[in-house]
Amino acid sequence: MMQTPIKASKTVIITGGNSGLGYYCAQALAQSKQDWHIIIASRNLPRVEEAVQQLTAETNYSFIEGMTLDLASLASVRQFVQDFQTREHPPLHAIVCNAGVQIVSGTCYTENGFEMTFGVNHLGHFLLVNLLLPQLSDRSRIVFVSSDTHNPETNTGMPHPNYQDANALAFPTGNDNQMDIRTVGRVRYTTSKLCNLLCTYELSRRLQKQQSKMTVNAFNPGLMLDTKLSRDYSESERSALRATLSASTLGQSRDSQVMGSALARLILDPALDQVTGRYFDGLKEIRSSDESYDEHKAVELWETSVGLTH
């Protein structure tokens, strides 16, 4: 049985860590013997507290706590950062931007009036990371969980992303009415995952220009059938989605515990100390889509996001 250290030496924040990929990432960090203080940040505090209790029991590791964070509310993001700053904890060394939504039942909006998928998957994390940058220690690591669905050349069974500009994503006008609402929702999801990569690479470039030793990388967990990402799908819609996926695609589905460990590796592995602006498919570094390297789009997304979250 693993023994909890007397004192944790560094802090990691994991968004959406109360289940699935984020939960197993937290589990791997707790079992790493690297003395992490693990903060699971999610909007449902009872579920977070339940996850903390379960993780503590499973790992015999006590330096795990939960905090409330609703990425659909800029006020909640700011409150989270304020609460984090006032609590006693070891220096912040890592942020894992893992939480995400996929909405196929109709257009929903965040508290601030942004389309929900873009608001949560990109803008909430964008503000969180930018507000926490001054708190991050030298050589800290930031990881954005993206998805291979961002890449039109990858056979995922999902529609291609459609990036026009950030304002169009934040405030859709209904020009996509020629698609059924499920397809619209899935396009919004794949586009938000492209935004995660554009943001990863742009933040990495900006930090490098400042001669910062922080690293920023993106992670693709692949298709995982045992997560809550498809919680907005009805049972019939889940069945229909599976029917659209080829047998080979379904056969390549991944286990969220295995991928959680692979995600944790981007925080833990000393060999990645100076690796930044990269994209990892599980354990393997690969190229993302051609569009994800478009610096003009990345700057436009970044600058517009600054204005939207100001």
The set of catalytic residues is: 189
Contact 111, 127 (CB under 8 A): no
CA distance 303 to 91: 29
HSE, side-chain direction, 13 A CA sphere, residue 284: 6
Backbone φ, ψ for residue 228 (5° rounding):
-95, 15
What tokens were used for 110?
């965040």
CA distance 277 to 183: 30
- The terminus-to-terminus CA distance of the chain in angstroms comes to 47
CA distance 59 to 23: 12
CA distance 249 to 244: 10
CA distance 142 to 96: 6
CA distance 64 to 164: 40
CA distance 32 to 38: 12
CA distance 301 to 236: 35
Contact 55, 37 (CB under 8 A): no
Contact 133, 52 (CB under 8 A): no
Point out which residues pair with 11 in neighbouring strands: 37, 92
Point out which residues pair with 13 in neighbouring strands: 39, 95
